[in-house]
Chains A and B, each alone.
Chain A
């Protein structure tokens, strides 16, 4: 038995079963100074990012898409980060390349210059057309990349933000920065800009301020989820007070579930349900640990465990059954009814 797959399943019982994924890219090349294994390190970063998104999905009455991070040697509409360690003239050449591409791709809402540099924790204006430069110590690489893409995911969970024209999407990042300054939010990054910046991720304001943790040689990513949600709520209420998020229909949401031969009548499970957050549970394996058999059979109203049994629960009951999602091969798929 492949224990790795079981481990991934255990921790990703929501994200593994949805196709609600966005692809976003990091522009990188070996010329930038990072080690050759940088693309392989992205897997760990992606998992951590989607773990946070999963945790947010359990709190927020919208579907937040997951992010698939790729690493390429060119710029296109999906590129959001340029990451480097070098500070030589070759980087200047690459930045000129990015600048020329930015005019070609109207749908790039923002692109950031991530500069890895020992002991750094600052944000500055970029010397190129990129929204801003984030200089950070190597220990914080995972944090910075996760924070940038976390805001991408959260942005895309609002239907009205998705529908903004490209110019307004580009202006959106500036608004977040202005909000950050106006509210005097604390931030992981020290703002060393002279004239203000065109970017900010609210995740930067949701990390520990404990110096000892931050100064640890093995800093582990952490984020205050409640604070993150609150900042976004306050920001949206202030800047977009007359906009309302419209969730997809149940059928449209179910279409995003990975194809496992769900019955066509699946949406009927949600008819006459009050507005709220629900989870469609499915038994994914016949042979589950004996210790959970009785409980699973009771939950699904079956006499023995078989694959493909369905059940809908509401958010309040989610945590009652979380141990089954982790250990008994029960998948959970989020449905939001407005």
Chain B
């Protein structure tokens, strides 16, 4: 809320906020409906996430091979039930910051929000319609509280960026455990497999190639009962504390946006100047 969320990268609590970039059209939908929807895992733009990454430790016998096939089939078929919320984060590195501040005047350093999670040029370009969209500033703890209040089961973590796709070996015991869960065929099977802290989950859902590292992604994953189910987080006013309008947003959107937000949500605009990035008030 208010001025604190706009602190420079060296002053902000980097664990406090998460950021969701989106188009203006989607922003209006979110604010009007007061809900934030999870997306399908299958709709992410990382080609490596379109199918499960499975390597098994021991496929020396037919029984294990069959089990592996069942697992692969199950995860491929039910993949559409996996829902995801992708957010960006703040990250501070002192030496990067020192380099950034070299040659800047005192005032420029003070005003410069480069490095903040709402000031990622690539995210603005790719996910906010080339800076004609918005970035929602979300209070992380309040988001989790809201999710908990709605009894949405999740797993979440920061995405780890790796230089090449190493493989995660699924051991025999994990293979058997997954197989048995699938065969039990109860409503919670997918949830039990996905929403846990296993190496399989980390490798499949929380690792991406370093090509994507500038997104600084934090992911929240949940599962739906049916593939077409929509999972929404309600009461967004409790956790959206700021909205950043893109550099190329027409001023006309200001009035409409202001009519949709509550008094505890601060509306500002990002401006990419020649040497620094600023946040300006409307």
Contacts and interface: CB of A to CB of B under 8 A. Distances in A.
Contacts of B4: 119, 215
Contact of A138 (B106, B241, B273, B280): B280
Given A139-B2, A217-B266, A119 B7 contact: yes
B239 to A, nearest CB: 14
B interface majority secondary structure:
mixed
A259 interface: no
Interface string B227-269: 0000000000000011000000000000000000001111110
Contacts of B113: 118
A88 B278 CA distance: 12
A85 B281 CA distance: 11
Nearest to B268: A118
Interface residues on chain B, size class: 20 to 34
Given A217-B266, A218-B263, A118 B3 contact: yes
B1 A137 contact: no
A139 B105 CA distance: 24
Interface in B61-117: 105-108, 110-111, 113
Interface in B1-55: 1-8, 11
B279 interface: yes
Contacts of A124: 106
B156 to A, nearest CB: 26
Interface residues of A, number: 24
A120 B281 contact: no
A199 interface: no
Given A118-B281, A217-B263, A135 B110 contact: yes
Contacts of A115: 107, 110
Give the residue among B1, B106, B107 with the most A Cβ atoms within 10 A.
B107
A287 interface: no
B111 A140 contact: no
Contacts of B2: 137, 139, 214-217, 219
16 contacts: A85-B280, A87-B108, A117-B107, A119-B4, A119-B5, A119-B11, A121-B3, A140-B3, A214-B3, A215-B1, A215-B4, A217-B242, A217-B264, A217-B265, A217-B266, A218-B263
Interface of A: 85, 87-88, 91, 115, 117-122, 124, 127, 135, 137-140, 214-219
The 8 nearest A-B residue pairs measured at CB: A87-B107, A138-B281, A137-B3, A217-B266, A118-B6, A215-B2, A118-B279, A119-B6
